[in-house]
Amino acid sequence: MKARLEEALQFHQSALNLQARRQEMLASNIANADTPNYKARDIDFRSALAAQLGRPGEGMALAQTSAGHLPTGGAQGFEGYVGYRQELQSSADGNTVNMDVERAAFAENALHYEASLTFINGLLSGMRTAITGGQ
Amino acid sequence: MSMFDVFNIAGSALNAQSLRLNTTASNLANADSVVGEDGQPYRAKQVVFEAVPVGKSEGRGVRVTQVVESAAPMRLVYDPANPAANGEGYVEMPNVNVVEEMVNMISASRSYQNNVEVMNTAKTLLQRTLTIGQ
């Protein structure tokens, strides 16, 4: 039972982790909309999620700020899935950020993130109902 | 925690864009400053942006690496009565292109707004994350 709960949460945790990373990457693109020679990047979400699910137990890693900290495992494991966006309209300064695309992707990713949170909450409240017998 | 890096990234962009806005304001204010502090006419200034890594993650923030002076030729205005006029009666005016500066200002303020929006979204998502399981 515990394994099943963990398994169910594992998927959403991985998805949430990746969505947070993607959000950060899209924020970088929007922040650098006026930086010359900046190339917009994005994550191949499907492949990255599949790869992360293929390695159970490797969730979000905690930052180790001291040598005495125990390793928490969990590589980020998506570096190989980051790519550069194909440019739709070229600009003279070599910047490939298309603000429409980035804003749309940012809003979409934010919604997906909220959806993942809702799923996790639903799962947890379902489990709580099972534990308390609906009382 | 990567979502926190969004604040750093958007924050660095806000910083950079407000500096750009400052530069534009300075250019517009000095569009007619014939004599600067060095005795020369004011020269238009432009900021140079650069992408810099933020934290240990893949994210990239923005930094202003330098403020360069415009190499555009000075505007010559015929005004023999002006004390700053040269022997032929021409006054060297600043090389500020007001139209360009206005466009720059609008672009900078829109970019600023965009990044504020990004910050707000990240804040909402983090707040929702904090309420997991409640």
Of B1, B100, B82, residue with least CA distance to B45: B100
Domain range for B22 is: 3-133
pLDDT one-digit tens code per residue, A9-49? 888 888 998 899 899 999 999 999 999 999 999 998 888 88
pLDDT one-digit tens code per residue, A84-108? 998 888 889 999 999 999 999 999 9
B49 bridge partner residues: B64
Top residue of B116, B125, B130, B131 to mutate, by most chain A CBs within 10 Å, is B125
Residue B62 and residue A107: Cβ atoms within 8 Å?
no
Find chain A residues with C-beta within 8 A of B56's C-beta.
63
Q: In whole angstroms, what is the distance from residue B4 CA to residue A36 CA? A: 25
CA-based R_g, chain B, Å: 21
Distinct helix (H) and strand (E) counts, chain A: 3, 2
Residue A114 and residue B125: Cβ atoms within 8 Å?
yes
Q: What is the pLDDT of residue A6?
A: 78
Q: What is the pLDDT of residue B9?
A: 92
Q: In whole angstroms, what is the distance from residue B92 CA to residue B28 CA? A: 17
pLDDT one-digit tens code per residue, A56-87? 544 455 667 787 776 655 545 677 788 899 88
Q: In whole angstroms, what is the distance from residue A42 CA to residue A63 CA? A: 23
Q: Where are the alpha helices (DSSP H) in chain B?
A: 2-29, 98-130
Determine the residue of chain A that is closest to B58 in CA distance. A25
Length of chain B: 134
Q: In whole angstroms, what is the distance from residue A88 CA to residue A96 CA? A: 8
Given the structure tokens 């020369």, which residue do they identify? B40
How many independent structural domains does chain B possess?
1
Can you give the pTM of this predicted structure?
0.83
Residue A33 and residue B60: Cβ atoms within 8 Å?
no
